[in-house]
Amino acid sequence: MSKTVTLRVDDETYRNLNRWAGAENRSVSNFIETAVKEHVRHSAFVDDAEMAGILADERLVERLKRGSRDARRKKGRFAV
């Protein structure tokens, strides 16, 4: 189920949002929703080249595995 979120922006930001949304023939609400989804998608995941770099670093992979095991065992302190 979708939720309604109230967002406060200054006048200049709203004018820009309205102009950009209009250029894509969308509502401001839809423009913001799409922009947020795109930002989360790019921020939450790594691309193939970055993942290849991570997997190539054996020391890092081992540390990630150890951290995952420790988390499952609730061992150590975790930052929130």
Q: What is the pLDDT of residues 17-65, one digit of tens each?
A: 999 999 999 999 999 999 999 998 888 888 889 889 999 999 999 999 9
Domain ranges in the chain are 11-72
Q: Based on the number of CB atoms within 10 Å of its own CB, is 24 exposed (0-12), middle (13-18) or buried (19 or more)?
A: exposed
CA atoms of 54 and 72, how far apart (whole Å): 22
